[in-house]
């Protein structure tokens, strides 16, 4: 099997995200990054990124979280798989992402923005609606928190 080109518009890109949770002073908190690159540049989201050739999903999740936030995680549990299909005004598919989202407890490390994250911080779950987070990301965060 030959290596696929991740920039080929005819193939979905596999992305892995992690809802990182901890108990905070104001209740349950989630660690979010401010995206420094497209898609959704300038928006708050869960840390994650593109799976690399030969890398397992769990390896991708742990690597991306560490690169973007500097924190380490507990056990990874699957939350959901999301198809993010972006269409041009005429209806043609411009980009197709398959997003595999996990949840994990924060283990250690002081969050710091790295890699393509412009900022990183803990948010109380009760405050998430005030930060312009993509509806699908909010749904995944709430599903992860409900099962935590």
2 located within any domain: no
20 located within any domain: yes
121 located within any domain: yes
DSSP secondary structure string for all residues of the chain: -PPP-TT-TTSPEEEEEEEEEEEETTEEEEEEEEE-SSSSTTSEE-SEEEPPTT--HHHHHHHHHHHHH--EES--EEEEEEEEEEE-TTS-EEEEEEEEEEEEEEEE------TTEEEEEEEEGGGGGGS---HHHHHHHHHHHHT-
We report the CATH number of the domain holding residue 67 as 3.90.79.10
114 located within any domain: yes
122 located within any domain: yes
30 located within any domain: yes
pLDDT on residue 131: 79
| Percent of the residues in the chain that have a pLDDT greater than 90, as a whole number | 69
Predicted confidence (pLDDT) per residue in 4-29, tens digit = 555 655 889 999 999 999 998 878 99
21 located within any domain: yes
8 located within any domain: no
Range of the domain at 27: 13-146
Predicted confidence (pLDDT) per residue in 98-130, tens digit = 999 999 999 999 999 987 889 999 999 988 877
What's the structural domain count of the chain?
1
């Amino acid at each position: 099997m030959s290596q696929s080109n991740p920039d080929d518009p005819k193939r979905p890109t596999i992305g892995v995200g992690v809802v990182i949770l901890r108990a905070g002073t104001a209740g349950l908190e989630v660690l979010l990054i401010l995206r420094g690159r497209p898609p959704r540049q300038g928006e708050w989201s869960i840390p994650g990124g593109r799976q690399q050739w030969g890398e397992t999903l769990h390896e991708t999740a742990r690597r991306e979280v560490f690169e973007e936030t500097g924190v380490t995680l507990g056990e990874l549990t699957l939350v959901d798989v999301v198809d993010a299909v972006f269409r041009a005004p005429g209806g043609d598919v411009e980009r197709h992402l398959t997003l595999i989202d996990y949840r994990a407890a924060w283990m250690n490390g002081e969050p710091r923005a790295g890699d393509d994250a412009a900022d990183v911080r803990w948010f109380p779950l009760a405050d998430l609606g005030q930060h312009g987070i993509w509806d699908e990301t909010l749904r995944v965060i709430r599903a992860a928190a409900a099962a935590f």
